[in-house]
Amino acid sequence: MSDQPMVLADRVSKSFGTNRVLRSISLKVDPGEVLCIVGPSGSGKSTFLRCINHLDRVDAGRLSVEGQLVGYREKAGKLYELKPKEAAYQRRDIGMVFQRFNLFPHLTALENIILAPMKVKGTSKADASAKALELMDRVGLADKANEYPAHLSGGQQQRVAIARALAMEPKLMLFDEPTSALDPELVGEVLDVMKELARSGMTMIVVTHEMGFAREVANSLVFMDGGVVVESGNPREVLTNPQHERTKAFLSKVL
């Protein structure tokens, strides 16, 4: 089991109409690994994350999570599309955190966190709430359980969103630019939570522009541009000594 990669992408491609957004992406993420994806806007980073979660479907190649094909079932050499229920079942083990938080505004922080465990896993309200309070404590928001999202700062909202994803006890966490929508002084508190999560052994794929975070926390770094993986490797090496012109050009802009 443990020698199986958490995420394996083998020549994954994806188009929106004639726009080829992902072109033959291949990469591997092992359990416990933290992978950072960087790249310019429109390079397909979000799309790749969404494909891992089957919020978008891939057109070509094979994408699997824990050895299971995402969104399809292979039988006798043929691929069958999964029913919505089966696709939803696959997502139970994958948490996702969005750039714009996407908390449910009509629910309190606590209600945001307990909704999916109760409705999807059938956890009792008492158990889900106890677990949620633990998670809120872990992200440093123990006193905000009954606040509505509108009453929380951006950094607090994002930490609730992380707790909400963790409440489903995922094996893999996807972060799509989790700090890009935050005021600079709020970035640190979210990154701290993510660092703690990485230390606890969570497998994470993080799309980010925070090079400091990538350098400190990531085991590997991928630079994407125009839907292809231009360069990948150890984050310190890629960041200090990029091999490709495009990587150099991008890093000179963000560093």
Partner 1 sequence: MTPRDPGRTGAAEAEPLAAGQEGEAIKAIPLRHPWRNLAAVILVLMLAVFIIDAAQREDYGWADVGKYIFDKRISAAALVTLQLTVYAMVIAIVLGLVLAIMRLSPNPVLKSIAWLYIWIFRGTPVYVQLVFWGIMALIYPVITIGIPFTTPWISIPNGVFTNLFITAVIGLGLNEASYMSEIVRAGLLAVDRGQEEASRALAMSWGQTMRYVVVPQAMRVIIPPTGNEIISMLKTTSLVAAIPLSIDLYGVSRGISAVTFTPVPLLIVASLWYLLFTSILMVGQYFIEKRFSRGSGQRRAAKPSSFAGVGTTAAVTEAPTGNEPGGKG
Three-state DSSP class for residue 228: strand
Going by C-alpha positions, the residue among 42, 51, 69, 18 that lies closest to residue 228 is: 42
Please, which residue, 203 or 220, has the CB nearer to partner 1?
203
- CB of 84 vs ligand ATP, minimal distance in Å: 18
In the bound complex, what is the minimum distance in angstroms from residue 34's beta carbon to Mg ion? 19
Dist CA 253 CA 251 (whole Å): 5
For the CA atoms of the chain, what is the radius of gyration? 18
- Contact call for residue 101 and partner 1 (CB under 8 A): yes
Minimum CB distance to Mg ion smaller for 42 or for 201: 42
Selection from 125, 255, 120, 138 nearest residue 195 by Cα: 138
CB of 49 to Mg ion, least distance (A): 8
Q: Is 46 in the site for Mg ion (CB under 5 A)?
A: yes
Contact 94, 204 (CB under 8 A): no
Of positions 8, 12, 21, 204, contacts ligand ATP by CB under 6 A:
21
DSSP secondary structure, 121-152, as one string: H---HHHHHHHHHHHHHHTT-GGGTT--GGGS
In the window 32-71, what residues touch ligand ATP (CB under 6 A)? 39, 41-47
Give contact residues for partner 1 (rule: CB under 8 A). 53, 55, 84-85, 88-89, 91-92, 94-96, 98-108, 115-116, 119-120, 148-157, 161, 164-165, 168, 180-183, 186
